[in-house]
Amino acid sequence: MTKLFKVFYEGYSASDVEQLRVNRKWGLPGVKCSVCHVTWATIGVAYPSVDLSTLPEEKQYRRLWPVPLDELEDRRRPLLDLLPNGLVPPPGTDLGPLVGTGRGAFCDFVWVDPWTLLAQPEVLERLRKSEVHLPRSVPALITFKKANIRELVELELEPRTLMARAAFPNEVHQCRACGRNDATMPENIVVQRSTIPSDVDIFRDRLMTTLILATDRFVESVNRLELSGLEFREVDIA
Ligand SMILES: [Zn+2]
């Protein structure tokens, strides 16, 4: 039976040996909701493979200042055909590859922030050879100087699992207009078993999109290959 692990790295922010300065090319803005009266943007949802360079309205996806609901819908509509698996991007979704510069000594896995995971391409190749099912990976457009690496790719981690409602101390409400939920990360993470994907071994949660989860197959291979830059903590499944 599958086990699930939270994927994180305590060392990422303390590290001053690796320096990464990156920006995302495009995005969907945050929303000013007239129904729940909250201005917000999601954190963690990113589709680096989505290329907006051919859209006539490409420039408007560089402006990320929060917009009213109807304007959000206008900007979201042209994206629906471009996203994988019929996904509907929430406000604040990051789009396109990372662009920037890097220097220093990097681990096998590299974090931009606690919800954005990159890796050296040959590292992912080794994992694929040990039968780990990885999601699509996209080259980050990073220029390296005085670095131990020349290239990084970003894992396109789709929101797949759903945390069990019972994991949250209070009832979770969702706005019918903008889709915002008021859940905060609970002490004990509990994931609904029926939502664990079978086609991929690393993904993020749909309710808590900053939470990256991996199967025991992923964790065992990373440990066996002694890859650096990741830590794991087992979570509950219900
Ligand atoms: Zn709302």
Residue 55 CA to ligand 1 centre (angstroms): 28
Rounded Cα distance, 173 and 164, in Å: 14
Ranges 25-29, 82-86, 141-145: which has the least confidence: 82-86
Q: Give mean pLDDT, residues 209-232.
A: 97
Quote the Cα angle for 80-99-51, to 5°.
25
**Contact criterion met (CB below 8 Å) for 172 and 207:** yes
**Contact criterion met (CB below 8 Å) for 197 and 181:** no
Residues 112, 86 share a domain: no
Residue 38 CA to ligand 1 centre (angstroms): 6
Residue 179 CA to ligand 1 centre (angstroms): 6
Select from 106, 133, 155 the last residue of a domain.
155
**Contact criterion met (CB below 8 Å) for 214 and 7:** yes
Statement: residue 14 has pLDDT above 50:
no
Statement: residue 16 has pLDDT above 90:
no
Residues 59, 39 share a domain: yes
Select from 68, 95, 122 the last residue of a domain.
95
Output the six-digit token pair for 66.
Answer: 């929060």
For residue 6, name the pLDDT band (cuts at 50, 70, 90): very high
Q: Which domain holds residue 169?
A: 4-11+157-237
Output the six-digit token pair for 150.
Answer: 């020349």
Residues 165, 232 share a domain: yes
Q: Which amino acid is at 58?
A: E
Domain count for the chain, please give it: 3
Residues 198, 219 share a domain: yes
Tell me the pairing of strands 31-32 and 67-68. parallel
pLDDT of amino acid 116: 95
Residue 33 CA to ligand 1 centre (angstroms): 5
pLDDT of amino acid 22: 94
Output the six-digit token pair for 21.
Answer: 């300065």
Nearest residue to 79 (alpha-carbon basis) of 115, 47, 32: 47
Please name the residues in contact with 136: beta carbons below 8 A apart, sequence gap of 6 or more: 49, 84, 155, 156
**Contact criterion met (CB below 8 Å) for 191 and 162:** yes
Select from 117, 137, 155 the last residue of a domain.
155
pLDDT of amino acid 18: 72
Residues 73, 46 share a domain: yes
Residue 107 CA to ligand 1 centre (angstroms): 40
How much is the pTM?
A: 0.94
Q: Give mean pLDDT, residues 26-54.
A: 96
Residue 176 CA to ligand 1 centre (angstroms): 7
Residue 69 CA to ligand 1 centre (angstroms): 9
Q: Give mean pLDDT, residues 57-63.
A: 94
Return mean pLDDT, the chain. Answer: 94
Q: Give mean pLDDT, residues 132-137.
A: 97
Residue 194 CA to ligand 1 centre (angstroms): 28
Statement: residue 10 has pLDDT above 90:
no
List residues, by chain if needed, whose CB lies under 5 Å from ion ligand 1.
33, 35-36, 175, 177-178
3-state secondary structure string, the chain? CCCEEEEECHHHCCCCCEEEEEEEEEECCCEECCCCCCEECCCCCEECCCCCCCCCCHHHHHCCCCEEHHHHHHHHHHHCCCCHHHCCCCCCCEEEEEEEEEEECCCCEEEEECCEEEECHHHHHHHHHCCCCCCCEEECEEEEEEECCCCCEEECCCEEECECHHHCCCCCCECCCCCCECCCCCCCCEECHHHCCCCCCEEEECCCCCCEEEEHHHHHHHHHCCCCCCEEEEEEEC
Residue 173 CA to ligand 1 centre (angstroms): 10
pLDDT of amino acid 78: 94
Residues 112, 79 share a domain: no
Please name the residues in contact with 205: beta carbons below 8 A apart, sequence gap of 6 or more: 159, 160, 161, 162, 163, 191, 211, 213
Residue 198 CA to ligand 1 centre (angstroms): 33
Would you say how long the chain is, in residues? 238
